[in-house]
Amino acid sequence: MQVTTEHIQHYDANRDAADVYALWQAALSSVWPLTQPRLQKVLHGTEPQHFVARINGQIVGFVATFKRSYGAEKVGQLAALLIHPDAHRQGIGSALHDAALDHFRSSGLKSVRLGSVSPRFWCGVPDNLPAAMAFFQAKGWDLSATVYDLAQDLTAYRTPERIIERLNTEKITITSAKSQNVTDVLTFEAKHFANWLPQYEQCADLGDYRDLLVARDEDGRILGTLIMYSPQSHPERTDMIWQDLLGETAGAMGAVGVAESERGRGIGLALVAGASEVLKERGVKNCFIDWVELTDFYAKVGYDKWRAYHPCVRDI
């Protein structure tokens, strides 16, 4: 049968959560295994509106959408689209795709991101889902850009001496934030990296101050920051959801930023190296860094490409 809009319904977590997880298991568990609690945490993201395709009472397709603010503008996020392997070529994917875009248009949005920012499953279409690549390209998405998730086993990690020497020369210290100074960190983010401010605010609101790593000069001015995640981080966070692939002791880092006026002093690399040391001390084995374009930068401290994605933002 050919699926039409009459088969598309709003997702209801109380009614549909178990069936959507079963759909994920059928469609993606061989390449993207995920626990149901982690799936649900991501689905509770910012301004969520998800849809299911139901045939004869059975959920055979699902699309997840969020909205994200960039200043005064909101951008739609098409975070995931799943079709049951036994239900391909019935128009389900097209119907769900169109329902998502219609939802964004009816909300007054002008553009949509394929993938999502935070929380997210992926930042674009995963390279290891070739059928999804072909589907979205046929729908007019430009998937020519490529970004990467990186990973490294920290078991034997040691910061290169050259990085330590550069820090000492530049008179820069790297420490975790504390409750007493986290407001300074948030002020820095608001000024220099406003798009990352929500992630930093979430860490602060959850009390994960020590997961905010801060580089300061000898006068105490903040020069750069990043966010860490370890198994000891607050359970509501979704920085790392691929423990079934990287292990339950996996950790993560991201949102690495250095004030523009301070770049070229080795601060960014020192933050990544420092976070690697801290996460190793906290028992992290595999460390994950997502949504990376500058792979050569992270390779300097041992991070290799783990997965590839193709992001796109388009007008609607």
pLDDT in tens, 42-80: 999 989 999 999 999 999 999 999 999 888 889 999 999
CA distance 118 to 128: 21
Query: Quick check: 303 pLDDT over 90?
Result: yes
Pairing status of strand 51-55 against strand 58-70? antiparallel
Residue 3 confidence (pLDDT)? 67
Q: Length of the chain, please?
A: 316
| pLDDT surpassing 80 at residue 168 | yes
As given in the structure block, the two tokens for residue 297 are 């930068």
pLDDT recorded at residue 1 = 61
Domains assigned to the chain: 5-143 (3.40.630.30), 149-308 (3.40.630.30)
For tokens 């966070």, what's the residue? Answer: 237
Which pLDDT score, from 0 to 100, does residue 60 have? 97
Residue 2 has what pLDDT?
A: 67
Which has the closest alpha carbon to 237: 185, 200, 187?
A: 200
The chain-wide mean pLDDT, for the chain, equals 96
Question: pLDDT tens, 78-120?
Answer: 999 999 999 999 999 999 999 999 999 999 999 999 999 989 9
| pLDDT tens string 2-11 | 666 679 999 9
pLDDT at 6: 77
For the cut 70, the answer to whether the pLDDT of residue 261 exceeds it is yes
Q: Against a cut of 0.85, is the pTM above it?
A: yes
Cis peptide before 37 (omega within 30 of 0): no
Per-residue model confidence (pLDDT) at position 283? 98
Dist. CA 175–CA 161, nearest whole Å:
18
Q: Which of 139, 122, 120 is nearest to 131 (CA)?
A: 139
Distance CA 240, CA 252 (A): 6
Burial of 276-289, coded b for 16+ CB within 10 Å and e otherwise, reads bebbbebebbbbbb
Amino acid at 25: Q
